Every structure is written in structure tokens, then in C-alpha cells.
Structure 1
Amino acid sequence: MNLAKEFAAAGPGCAVANGLLNCFETTKVKLQLHNHAKPVYDTPTTRGVMMQIAREEGIVRGLMTPGLSASLTRSMLYGSYRVGLYSTTKEWLSGDGKDNLSHRMLSGMFTGGLGSMISCPLDVVRTRMQADAGVVRNGKYVTGLKKGDAVRYRGMISAFLTIFKEEGLKKGLYRGASVTVLRASLLNGAQLASYDTLKRSLNWNEGPALHFFCGFASGVIAQTAVMPVDTIKSQMMLGSGWKDVFATLRSNGPFYLYRGLAPACAGQGLIMVLQMPLIEEFRRLLGIKAI
């Protein structure tokens, strides 16, 4: 029964936070995939891309809603596993209930990897919908990264069916799954372990102030650690292979792997600021102890 409550607290908390801050995820994907040889955005910085998208496509349509349906569905599923199983896994690993940093890291990595493996197709769909997003006229994009191209997907279900039909399961919906699972394992391990450890290190009373501070700090720490894998994941989900990744790395240098770090850290930090207090409050209402 406790496990069901853990899932019920985690899923909605993750979905609300990710949905409200979808604009940062959209901007991050656009920046990661921006081709400097054929520039679409006049100023390829976080502020520049967001301002141009807002001007050309509108704040809601251009920044807040691309891939939102897939993002919310993924958050409910992925969040339930990555956070909902964390405490149970941590207790099982420690045995006597006296967990340490390695127990927290391993628990977060396991639950994050498991959740990602299950929700990978939704991640592919979300990334492609965000990358494709733009104003459409006569069946073609007139703004965005796909400017001049015909519209591929009409929505989340359309994207699922089209990708499965044209590319199959392994090379389509699970494209880049190894990188995606690795990214989720590292991100979740770093995020939940740092959140958990920071809470124990600070002599603050359990409550919103503690949850807000530890949530933001853990989000920035985790995103910085996982950014190189995150960039590779986005490129592979759009159809690139390892040869393309290495070619891009050779031509752009190692800092290419940290392209989009600012919106990614802002998004992840703010997501955690919303997500962790919400999850902690849902846990309290359901009678479960805080993480």
C-alpha cells in the first residue's frame, strides 16, 4: 500500500512541475540542435532563442506547448518510478535503514534508469515534437529548426504511429535508448542523492524553505553533471548516430556538449523547486514520511 502512495505522490508532482516549465525544455532542445552552418536563430543564446520564438510564434504556442502532451504523460510515468521507488530501494540497499551517500546514489541511478527504460518512447516523441515546433503554413514550417520542411507529426499519437511505422521500435521509439537510460540514471542519482544529502546536512526544520533550497541546488548539480550525455541524447533522438555525434564534436569542440547549459540548469533547478515541495506535500497528505 505504501508503494502505491509513493507512486501517487511522485507522478502528479513531476507532471505539474515539468508542464509549467516546458518552455525551458523546448529552448534547450532548440539550442542543442541549432546548426551554426545554417542558422535559424539570430542570437543562439538562451535569451536570444526564447525572445525570437516568442516574437515569431508566441509565448504559449512557441515555448510552452511544444511536446507538452508527451511531456506530461512521460512525467507521470517516469516520475512515478524515479521518485516513487527511491525510498524503498534505498531502504532495501541499506538493510538496517542507515543509508549512506553510495546507497542514495545507487538507488537514484537504479530508479531513474528503470523509469527511463519504460518511458523512452515518450522521450523520443517529446524531443522530436519540440525540435519540429514552429509556425505552419500550407503544410510547411515557416519558423523554427524545420523551416521549409513539411510537417511530420500532427500530435503525440500521430508522432508515435509515424515513428513506429517508418522507423520501427528499436531504431525509432527506442532510438538512443542506451544514452537516454544512462542520462536518466546519472541525472536521477545525482539529483536525489544531493537533495537527500543536503536535507540531512542543513539544520533546518522540515518544510517548504528546506524543500525549495535543496530542490533548486540538486537540480543545478544534477544537470551540470549530466549535460554532455543530455546533448548527445537529443542529437541521437533526432536520427543521428555515433559517427554524427563524433563529427559534430570534432568540428565544434568539447564545449558543444555544454550547449544549452543555461536553460537546462534554469529549467532543471526550477523544476526541482516546484517538483520536490509538491512531492513532499503529497507525501505528507498521504501519510508518508519525507524523503
Structure 2
Amino acid sequence: MSHPDHLRKGTNTSVVHSLIAGSLSGLVARIMTAPLDTIKIRLQITPSSGLTQTTKDIILKEGIKSLWKGNVPGSMMYVIYGGTQFGSYSMYNEWLAPLDLSGQLHSLVVGMMSGLTSSFISYPFDTLRTRFVANRGSEFFPLKQACVDIWEHEGFKGFYGGCTTSLVSLTVATGIMFSTYESIKIYSEGKHGDATPILSASASTISAITSKTLTFPIDTVRRRIQLQDSIHMNKFFQMGNNLELYKRYQAVNNILMIPVLMIRYEGIHSLYKGLFVALCKSIPTTVLSLWTYERIMSV
């Protein structure tokens, strides 16, 4: 028995129900994929590191529990982001239905708007998560103290470092994810309603791979920016060369120059470090998120 598509254009979906289902779907996805998230972020922010060495360093030097560093702000971010993403999607979906856009274009526009909204609201928790993961010490940062450090030394803007880059990345990624997902769903049903089960079942996986691959370099630059003004740089980077590179990036006022410098000093592959892990994480995250959302909405 097929389940109704609650993301389809014109679907009359309760915003409150979408908020609840989206929040729970985000929490489920976070719990299942947290260790991959930690490894991915550590690869993105460390110039000279590989997947195997990074994983060994985290486990052997910091302990197995370090794979869940930043889990509290990360879980809070996923709950807030998931709830806002699906809740605002339902709201924008209803608002823009009268414009009579094609199904694919409608999903793209609504997805980008929901990505913009959810990214901005949840961003402070993303900054905290990145800094928690960057900490190479065996002791975890207390959440309250981390917030106080940012507020006292960087001010309110410290919580939103790299936010512009994030809004671009997540807005585009969310737009691509939803539009790809709905395009595949619409196509798989065919002109005469003939379903294509395999393609339809792969919609969430394909949408995850597409959106993550196209926007990953923007996400990597964002991670670097989130660390730049922290007073804990010595805990993030114990190797002199890496710390020196970040000091060079700190001196740049134009964020568009950061990827240029990364390519110059680290090579173009630096923009895609952690992509494999990101895809390994993104696929189950998106699949779990969309699957959980649809099942909860059906209930």
C-alpha cells in the first residue's frame, strides 16, 4: 500500500504536524549518523589529514565517545532544523500553490525558501557543533561555557560566523534535494500513472547525493569560517602548519577569497575533503529524515 506524498505541490498539510514530524525526523537522523558527522567535519577543517588517520586519531587519542562530540548542540540543531524545514515547507507549499508553477519548479522554490528559513534559525547550534568537533582534547567543552566564550569574545555575530555562506549552501542544497526528490517521484509515476517502484524508492537517495555533491565546497568553506575567530584555536590545531594557514585565512576580509587561498595552499581537493564521508552520512540522513517524516505524517 502506497503512502501519500505530503510534500507534493498543493498538498494541504498542517504546519503544526509538519513541525512535529520534521523535528522527530531530524532527531532520528542525527542519532543514527552522529559519528560520521564528526569525522566529516574534522576532515573539512583540518588541512593535512586523511580519512583513516583522522578516524584513528579521534578514537585512539580522544576516546570512542569523541565520535559524539557536539552531540547536544548537534541534536538541538537537527531537531530545530528538521522541524523548521518541514514546517516552513508545508507553509510555503500552501502559499505558493496559487502561482501555478510546474511541480518541479514549485518544489525547487519552496525547498530553497524552507532551507533559508531553517538554516538561519538553527545556525548558532551549527557553529557550536563545529567548534565542539574541532576540539582535539579528551575533555568536552561545556555547552554553557562555550556559549559564554563566544558571547564575551566575539559577540552575537560569533554565533553566525559564515552564516551567509551557510544560507547559500543550505538554501541551494535544500532546493536541489526537494526538487530532485519530487521530480523523480513525478517521473516515476509516468504520464498514465504507471509507477516505477525501484526509481521511486531511490528518490531520497538520489536527491541526497545530488544536493550534497553540488554544494559541498561551499559547506567546507563555511566550516573554516566558523572557527576563525575562536579563542580556542590552540585546541583545534596542534600542528604549526595548520594553525599558520588559519592565520592567513583570518587576515582575509572577503570570504570569496578563502576558497581561492585553500586551492593555492592546499590544492583543489581541499574543497572536497570529507565528501565521501559526507555522502555516506547524507544518504542515510536524507533517507531517514524523509522516511520518518512521511511515516509520522501518515500517522
- Asked if Structure 1 and Structure 2 have the same fold, meaning a TM-score greater than 0.5 normalized by the shorter chain, the answer is yes
Match of residue 188 from structure 1: 174
Runs of at least 5 residues in structure 1 that lack an aligned partner in the other structure: 137-152, 286-291
Asked if 1:283 is matched to 2:288, the reply is no
**What is the CA deviation profile of residues 123-149 of structure 1, one whole-angstrom value per residue up to 9, with x for unaligned ones?**
10011111114424xxxxxxxxxxxxx
**What is the CA deviation profile of residues 232-253 of structure 1, one whole-angstrom value per residue up to 9, with x for unaligned ones?**
0000001145355432222223
1:156 aligned partner, one-letter code: L
Alignment of 1:199-214 (within 5 A): 199-203=185-189, 213-214=202-203
Structure 2 CA distance, aligned partners of 1:211 and 1:31? 33
Q: CA deviation at 1:211?
A: 7.4
2:21 aligned partner, one-letter code: A
**What is the CA deviation profile of residues 204-257 of structure 1, one whole-angstrom value per residue up to 9, with x for unaligned ones?**
8799x8776222221111110110110000000011453554322222232221
Match of residue 146 from structure 1: none
Contact persistence 1:125–1:159 (CA under 8 A): yes
Q: CA deviation at 1:50?
A: 2.2
Residue 128 of structure 2, aligned match among 119, 125, 129: 125
Q: Cα–Cα, structure 1 residues 71 and 212, in superposed 2: closer, same or farther, change >3 Å?
A: farther
Give secondary structure in 2 for the equivalent of 1:21.
helix
Q: Which consecutive segments of 4 or more residues in structure 1 shift more than 6 A? A: 204-207
1:79 aligned partner, one-letter code: G
Match of residue 33 from structure 1: 45
TM-score, normalising length: structure 1: 0.81
**What is the CA deviation profile of residues 138-172 of structure 1, one whole-angstrom value per residue up to 9, with x for unaligned ones?**
xxxxxxxxxxxxxxx632222112111111011x1
Give secondary structure in 2 for the equivalent of 1:135.
coil
Q: CA deviation at 1:271?
A: 0.6
Asked if 1:94 is matched to 2:93, the reply is no
Alignment of 1:1-291 (within 5 A): 2-36=14-48, 41=49, 44-45=50-51, 47-59=52-64, 61-63=65-67, 65-95=68-98, 99-136=102-139, 154-170=141-157, 172-203=158-189, 213-239=202-228, 240=250, 242=255, 243-285=257-299
Q: CA deviation at 1:84?
A: 2.0
Aligned length: 258
Contact persistence 1:90–1:99 (CA under 8 A): no
Contact persistence 2:259–2:271 (CA under 8 A): no
Task: Name the stretch that deviates more: 276-285 or 252-261.
Answer: 252-261
2:209 aligned partner, one-letter code: V
Q: CA deviation at 1:48?
A: 3.9
% identity of equivalent residues: 24
Q: Cα–Cα, structure 1 residues 229 and 83, in superposed 2: closer, same or farther, change >3 Å?
A: same
2:54 aligned partner, one-letter code: V
Contact persistence 2:14–2:90 (CA under 8 A): no
Bigger relative contact order (CA 8 A; separation at least 6): 2
Q: CA deviation at 1:190?
A: 1.1
1:249 aligned partner, one-letter code: I
Structure 2 CA distance, aligned partners of 1:205 and 1:156? 49
Contact persistence 1:15–1:76 (CA under 8 A): yes
Give secondary structure in 1 for the equivalent of 2:202.
helix
**What is the CA deviation profile of residues 147-200 of structure 1, one whole-angstrom value per residue up to 9, with x for unaligned ones?**
xxxxxx632222112111111011x11111111111110111111111122222
Q: CA deviation at 1:96?
A: 6.4
